[in-house]
Structure 1
Amino acid sequence: MRRTASPLSLVLLGVGVFLLVLAPMLSWYVEPRAERTPTDVDVTTVFTGTGEYFDTSSLRTVQAKPITVTRRVLGDVAASERSGRAVWDVSTAIDTPDTLALRDPRRSYQWTLERWVTDRRTNAPVHCCGETPEYQGEAYLKFPFDVQKRGYTWWDSTLGATLRLEFKGTKKVAGYEGYRFTGSVNDTRTGTRQVPGRLVGLPKQSQVHAEEWYANDGIELVVDRRTGRVMNARTAPRKTLRAPGADEAKVVLLDSAGLEFTQETQREQVALAKADSAQLRALGETVPIGAGAAGLVLGAVGVVLVVRGRERPNPQ
């Protein structure tokens, strides 16, 4: 009698070896390459809160009014493909009740357009492709992948510079846990603006270059650990005008004790974070572990069947 391997044993052995090879490839090769900032984004986030702001029609500061900040991030896919970077165009509109009703960012209380270019793997800024402003830091619209329990440098567009955000434990957003980071900005001069002298206590001067000052004592971000997506953001900006060389503010341009993502925005950001995180977890953990375990079992069964073989009579 002689023994020959059955087709089933060879198939089981082959599949087992394939799965054993696939498992580390998914974890060490495929998953790191999946950690790339997307280029085809189209995401709108909305902050709401109350505060005071300077009403240009009445030339006075009004108080306890709703304030809405709408930010739309739109990926420039063509520029991203040409450069190999993530190129995002960012529109940010600050609205009062009057301007919000117009539904036109160009007629909002304040509207800015920015172009952000980042390395898709590290999230570091890349100075190319019409980037504006030329920003620095480790994070802005998102954090790097695999967020660590440490401080990060965060770019503040109003400040025109980076600030330090410190890790402050965890916090749940819509029932989903993320890392919490906080920071603040001391009152800082950010530029000048030509205004009538009487606005800043200089009635004898028709026009002056008043100093613009900015502070923020309530920055809080809750970030998904795996993807770096910001699931909730809270900010407390204060923008004022001072007479040239003065020590105190004369006009409050904008002051809010707290602008925060709306509940709808929070749910949307959490849903996106969950989906992206689950995909990365599957590539880096779930599928490799399952494939490795299945590969061991199938490979072992295949080896046993090959060793046993199938008895056949020896040829005469």
Structure 2
Amino acid sequence: MRKIIGRVLIAVGGFLVVAGVLTTLWAPGVVKKTPVDVDQTTRLDGTATKLGETFPVNVTSITKADSEASTDRTTVWVNTSCVVSNADGDAPDCVDGEDPRLVSATVGTFATDRVTALARDHENLPEGSTPYEGIVNKFPFDTEKKDYPYWDGTLGRTVDMEYVEATEMDGLPVYHFSSAVADEEIEIAEGTSGTYSQAVDIYVEPKTGAVVNQEQSQQRYLADGTQVLDLNVAFTDDQLATSVSEAKDNAANLDLITSTIPRIGFIGGAVALLLGALLLLVGRPRRATKAHVAPQPA
């Protein structure tokens, strides 16, 4: 019986050790990659002042991954973003261009590396697509405490997204990043020049690179100094709660696959191998030995 149990323990121990090795070497390269089936809606709210009138606004950003255009290395994205006046308290996610409640609407198609999260060229992007750069919609897995290049769609180039501090949101460890530009020359409208200033604060769950909160302040001025737009928005309370909850779950699942399972494999496998070997050794039959009889005197 001991032999049977010992052999079973050795088999189980070997399996656990192999599982530990595989999850250590293979799993991170599989799970630490951006999926190609993402369909995410992010909601922000706040206030806007446009041509001297201040009113509440809703911001809806829909980001979808194009699974057919994406590859093993690259995720292709389509993002639509809409800022709508919510003065009546019942504004839809977006309205058409003829609706006076529309503040702004943008559509962008871009591709990012599934590991580094940095924007990159891709053959499956539509012809004439704007060439994005830097961080666009998420940070890399295992986000570091360093500055990152961050895409500013209004300027059409990256700006420095600076690391500020490590903090917490509802018990979730996050990294706080911040960027700011001031008095950058842009085209306010077709044929109308002006300046643009913006400050963005982003809070990132570092294991997955997910953005769990974003605060944004943007101002636009005509060349004569007249303010055209003053926009101040952040994640809604519901969006923040959802983002934190999802980030906690995703980080826990990532830890389970890349840390907990390998640890169980190595420790549990070593214990099972040791116990199995001991049972086999203890269960070995002892060889019979002849008794030595001392000679008796005559």
Shorter-chain TM-score: which interval? 0.7 to 0.9
* Kept in 1: contact 2:60–2:93 (CA 8 A): no
Asked if 1:161 corresponds to 2:160, the answer is: no
The residue aligned with 1:239 is: 220
Q: Does structure 1 residue 253 correspond to structure 2 residue 253?
A: no
Q: Distance in 2 between matches of 1:85 and 1:183?
A: 26
Question: Over residues 84-124 of structure 1, what are the superposed CA-to-partner deviations in whole Å (9 max), with x where a residue is unaligned?
Answer: 52112101001112697355443432111111211112212
RCO higher in structure (CA 8 A, sep ≥6): 1
Contact 1:39 1:80 (C-alpha < 8 Å) held by counterparts: yes
Distance apart, 1:40 and its partner CA: 0.9
Distance across 1 between alignment mates of 2:216 and 2:173: 20
Structure 1 residue runs of 5 or longer lacking an equivalent are: 55-60, 195-208, 243-247
3-state SS, counterpart of residue 234 of structure 1: strand
Indicate the residue corresponding to 1:27 in structure 2: 24
Aligned length: 280
Q: Which amino acid in the other structure matches residue 289 of structure 1? A: R
Identical counterparts, % of pairs: 27
Partner residue in 1 for 2:192: 210
Query: If you compute each CA radius of gyration, which structure gives the higher value, 1 or 2?
Result: 2
Deviation at 1:47, TM superposition (A): 1.4
Determine if the alignment matches structure 1 residue 230 to structure 2 residue 230. Answer: no
- Structure 2 counterpart of 1:268, one-letter code: T
Corresponding residue for residue 197 of structure 1: none
Q: Counterparts of 1:270 and 1:232 in 2: how far apart (Å)? A: 8
Provide the aligned C-alpha RMSD in A: 2.3
Question: 1:87 and 2:82 equivalent?
Answer: no
- 2:288 corresponds to 1:307: no
CA drift of 1:177 comes to: 2.1
3-state SS of the aligned residue for 1:125? coil
Equivalent runs, 1:64-143 vs 2, <5 Å: 65-81=55-71, 84-97=73-86, 101=91, 103-107=93-97, 108-128=102-122, 129-130=124-125, 132-137=129-134, 139-143=135-139
Kept in 2, the 8 Å contact 1:23–1:292? The answer is: yes
Give the TM-score, by structure 1 length.
0.82
Aligned residues of 1:160 and 1:190 also touching (Cα < 8 A):
no
Deviation (angstroms), 1:130: 1.7
Superposed CA offset, 1:252-279 (max 9, x none): 33203x3110111111111221122111
Q: 1:105–1:28: structure 2 CA closer, same or farther, 3 Å change rule?
A: farther
Relative to 1, partners in 2 of residues 1:102 and 1:45: Cα closer, same or farther, differing over 3 Å? closer
TM-score by length of 2: 0.86
